[in-house]
Amino acid sequence: MRTQLLIRIRILVVGIVIFACIIIVRLYILQVAHGQSYRAEANNQYVRSSRDIFDRGSIFFTLRNGERIAAASLKSGYMLALNPNQIEDAQHVYDTLRKHMDIDKELFFARAGKTEDPYEEMARHVTPEAAELIEKEDLKGVQLFREQWRYYPGGSMASLVLGFVGFGEDGITQKGQYGLERYWESVLERQTDRLYVNFFAEIFTNAREAFSSEETPRVGSVVTSIEPAVQQALDRVLLKTQDEWGAKQLAGIIMDPKTGAIYAMSALPSFDSNLYSEEKDARVFRNPFVEDVYEMGSIIKPIAMAIGLDEGAVTQDTTYNDTGNITVDGYKISNYDGGARGVVPMQEVLNQSLNLGMSFVADKVGGKVLGERMKAFGFGEETGIDIPFEARGLINNLDSPRRVEYATAAFGQGIALTPIATVRALAALGNGGYLVTPHFVTHIQYENGAEASVAPDDHVQVISEDTSREITQMLVNVVDDALRGGTVAKEHYAIAAKTGTAQMAHDGERGYYDDRYLHSFFGYFPAYEPRFIIFLYHLEPQGARYASETLTAPFMELVDFLINYYDIPPDR
């Protein structure tokens, strides 16, 4: 009998163990194997609207000492909502809330009056301090929910680069809309629904990942090369220049010519990334450096000259007879003032920015070769910069059978480039002859703690190192002897630079305006081992014809700042 009892007990124990195993396996199937589909069905019961739940990776600036500071981070607070059918005395609720936060009276009563509606959002981004005080008031019909939102500590600083996070087409999910926020969306976005899942389901949520063979997306934060002090200096200089010359649009960039890492990029008009919803005109969000194309004018001359030197078609001492104007294919080409210079060497072509001299170089190089070499400088292609909506230049004229197109392309007319493609090409003049990829992001910090370098490392040689040194020397001579009569040259720093004054093309018609110009200025220093290239431009500045009048002072102010900030020793 006892034996029988033991047998029964054992059977019972085995039965219980089998039953337990069945339950565990069933739980696994429900929560881990099929969890996704059941979670989707149960969303309305278990999960709060994803609109209130926001998480995202950060974007960092890098200080000159290598430390990082957030350019885009998160802030948390509360969202205040009303349950109108529970509010008995709307006036009392309004008066009480007003003591602790700003609240629009009309909006409040409009929403509180919807008595058949159980949920009306009233205010967002309520501070934790205010939320605590409101909670103590214990107001019926007033609810507080935790929320997080994207925050830009710098406000409008580098806003064109950072972009902002806004609601997508579905009106619920938030995604990067411009700039780095958009380009690096796949790294920065987070799935946050599991924070608010019913906590019994939460028990097995992590287990699913442990058993799943799906590759989890690699998400993290991005680290940029933007240096906040340099960015602020550029912003200050641009604002000052805008006040002085009243241009329609103004932009600048400071970049490492050897690596393409960008220290600062700015344009006016600009916006505050925290207040993007207050902007009336969406065009302010566009980044003109990558999205707009312009005929750059004389700023292209050093590139054409470098091609001439590299091809062996001309040397620094080559001369030509400048008669003031020439006719090519029936078109008249003249210098900026129509004046003749007689026999001048190539250095003077750059010093005095002579169009005829550049047409001479184009002729010596040959149109086909010039066209191919200019394309090799990246004209007409995207640079690969890590922000969206990059445009390509318009360079059809570089395939033309007409000589006049090459004669004019050599001084930057007839071909249109994005400013960033122009900067990339100009950087090759000083860095030994290599095209680099302009970029902002240097590293990604993954959520698991690992860090990866993502800075592009490609260098395509477009001119020889000897040519790079030669053209640099010519551009240093431009600053030492010609720019503002040589008065801005620095005794102990070799600076290579060139100005550009381009006539603006008619909108939608052939020809150019007589009174509208694009002024540009580029320079790099220390000239023979450059650490910085600066490029500035503005559209339709008022009160001055030439770029040397409007952009020399801003450029030199930035040079002085960078020399002091980075303690750059003299190089001569």
Partner 1 sequence: MGTVSFKNIHVRIESCISWLEWSLLALALLLYVYFIAMTVIQVVLRQELLVSVQEAETRVSNLEASYIEGSSVLSQDTAASLGLVEVPTASYVTVAREGHDRLTRNQ
Q: Which residues bind partner 1 (CB under 8 A)?
A: 2-3, 6, 9-10, 13, 16-17, 20, 69-70, 73-77, 128, 146, 148, 151, 153-155, 157, 195, 199, 202-203, 228-229, 232, 236, 567, 569-570
User: Distance (Å, rounded) from C-alpha 540 to C-alpha 517?
Assistant: 5
> Rounded to whole angstroms, what are the CA distances from 205 to 196, 219, 465?
12, 18, 58
Q: How far is the CB of 49 from partner 1 (least distance, A)?
A: 18
Residues 145/122, Cβ–Cβ less than 8 Å? no
Task: Tell me, rounded to whole angstroms, the distance of Cα 402 from its chain centroid.
Answer: 38
Nearer to partner 1, 203 or 275 (CB): 203
> What is the 8-class DSSP label of residue 138?
T
Concatenated DSSP letters of 437-456: --BSEEEEEETTS-EEE---
Nearer to partner 1, 17 or 110 (CB): 17
Q: How far is the CB of 543 from partner 1 (least distance, A)?
A: 26
* Adjacent-strand bridge partners of 221: 445
Nearer to partner 1, 7 or 452 (CB): 7
> Rounded to whole angstroms, what are the CA distances from 6 to 3, 171, 214, 541?
5, 66, 47, 101
Nearer to partner 1, 23 or 107 (CB): 23
Q: How far is the CB of 567 from partner 1 (least distance, A)?
A: 5
Residues 286/508, Cβ–Cβ less than 8 Å? no
Nearer to partner 1, 147 or 322 (CB): 147
Q: How far is the CB of 83 from partner 1 (least distance, A)?
A: 23
Concatenated DSSP letters of 488-517: T-BTTB--EEEEEEEEEEPTTSSSEEEEEE
Nearer to partner 1, 154 or 523 (CB): 154
Q: How far is the CB of 492 from partner 1 (least distance, A)?
A: 8
Q: How far is the CB of 5 from partner 1 (least distance, A)?
A: 9
Nearer to partner 1, 77 or 438 (CB): 77
Q: How far is the CB of 72 from partner 1 (least distance, A)?
A: 10
The structure tokens listed for 392 are: 């390509």
Amino acid at 391: A
Burial (Cβ within 10 Å: 0-12, 13-18, ≥19) of residue 280: exposed
